[in-house]
Amino acid sequence: MKVISELGLLDSTNCELLSSTPLYDKIAAKVGREYTLTGRKLLVTIASIQAADFNLSKLSQLFDTKGDTAKSNLLIIDSSDPKIVDLIDKTNLVDVLIVPSTATEPRIVDRGRTRPLVISVGKFGEYAAKLTLEIQNDLSVKSQFSEVPITDKLPSDKNLVDLYKFYQTLVRDEKLLDKVPQVPLSDGLAYVGTKKCQTCHEFAYQKWIERKHAIAYPTLVQVEHQYDPECVKCHVIGLGYESGFKNDTNPELGNVGCEACHGPGNKHIESVLTQKTYVAPGGQPRMKCVDCHTNENSSGFAGHEREYFQKIAHWKEPRAEDSIQYLSGTAAPKADSVNVGKESSDNR
């Protein structure tokens, strides 16, 4: 509410806000607008109600059923309980019912119903749900649903841009990154940074530095997400561990470097210097590809794992795949299919 109020969105003519929560008494529970389609008037009413407070009397108060104007009634509710949906269906008041989302993409939740059309609008703001309304000869309204991916090809909306910028400012000012709990690593392990690996692994380092993983952190800075822990964790090494990335004070752990996939490197370096055998414990933190390349963050990854894996090939050891945490417990591609060299004197 603080953000919305300070941005002036409560008084905006371009943005309508709805809330069924009593705490937000300045925001209406419904809004109605009149449009003209093919020379005929259409009244569109969008209302919001909480399932805990739902009853038929309250529902009837939200929508105007009088008059001979074509009407389309949209209801937002915080439940997809089939019993509640059935009750709403029987009232014959609602044309489109919007229920909570379980997937990233908007979708028709119940294809067995024609009215109301039951939809969800998706999560994470990656799509917009589009409704196309068409007035029929009997003044009923046909609703057609489609999804619109949010890309840079869409026209910019200043209200939404300002709202998101304000959110980023709040995240920065609250210093959320500094508040991430930092747990100790077991067995005396510690992160050392990718540059330390370069000494012995020059070939792998030079290959890695050409890849996008090597500039993962600057890409966050460019879009001002470097203060958001939810974003930072997949663009650095060891966020959430005592010796891991904290903020700009230890930039050597920025980017998706060696230790993100191979685990903390201090014990490995000690074993090389002392010529003592060291076996890394199985419980050490190692990122898997799918830890960050989720459907929400990397929609093109699923089904194209081998193609993505080829993009990060930076080794030439015959058994390099044994040290890679590939996907979610599945075997890595065979070394001869991704090797970028024939032999190596690398020790790791």
Q: Report how far residue 76's alpha carbon sits from residue 306's, in angstroms, rounded to the nearest whole number.
A: 42
Q: The domain containing residue 277 runs over which residues?
A: 174-338
Q: Is residue 280 part of a domain?
A: yes
DSSP, collapsed to helix, strand or coil, labels residue 134 as strand
Q: Looking at the structure, do residues 276 and 309 belong to the same domain, yes or no?
A: yes
pLDDT in the model for residue 11: 56
Q: What is the pLDDT of residues 157-213, one digit of tens each?
A: 887 788 788 888 888 998 999 999 999 998 899 999 999 999 899 999 999 999 999
Same domain flag for 91 and 225: no
What are the Cα distances from residue 100, in Å, to 13, 50, 56, 113, 120? 26, 12, 20, 17, 6
Q: Tell whether 347 is covered by a domain.
A: no
Q: Which residues contact 145 (CB under 8 A, 6 or more apart)?
A: 106, 108, 117, 119, 129, 130, 131, 132
- The verdict on 76 and 202 lying in the same domain is no
Question: Domain for residue 130, yes or no?
Answer: yes
Res 127 pLDDT > 60: yes
Between CA 348 and CA 334 the distance in angstroms is: 18
User: Is 11 part of a structural domain of the chain?
Assistant: yes
The answer to the question of residue 28 being in a domain is yes
Residues 144 and 180 in one domain: no
Q: How many CB atoms lie within 10 A of CB 268?
A: 22
Within a 10 A sphere around the Cβ of 260, how many other Cβ atoms? 27
Statement to judge: residues 54 and 86 lie in one domain: yes
Q: Same structural domain for residues 128 and 6? A: yes
Q: Report if residue 168 sits inside a domain.
A: no
Asked if residue 184 and residue 144 are part of one domain, the reply reads: no
- Boundary of a domain, candidates 157, 182, 204: 157
Does one domain contain both 8 and 43?
yes
Percent of the chain with pLDDT over 70: 82
Residue ending a domain, choose from 157, 191, 207: 157
CATH value at residue 137:
3.60.21.10
Q: Is the pTM of this model over 0.75?
A: no
Residue 210: per-residue pLDDT: 92
pLDDT of residue 260 exceeding 90: yes
Residue 162 lies in a domain: no
What pLDDT was estimated at residue 236? Answer: 96
Q: Name residue 131's amino acid.
A: L
Task: Say if 167 falls within a structural domain.
Answer: no
Tell which of 96, 128, 157 closes a domain. Answer: 157
267 and 126 in a common domain: no
Sign, CA dihedral 178-218-125-292, equals: negative
Give the pLDDT band (50/70/90) at residue 264: very high
* Number of domains the chain contains: 2
How far apart (Å, rounded) are the C-alpha atoms in residues 59 and 75? 9
Q: Both 267 and 209 in a single domain? A: yes
Tell me, yes or no, whether 150 and 179 share the same domain.
no
Q: How does the average pLDDT of the chain come out, rounded?
A: 81
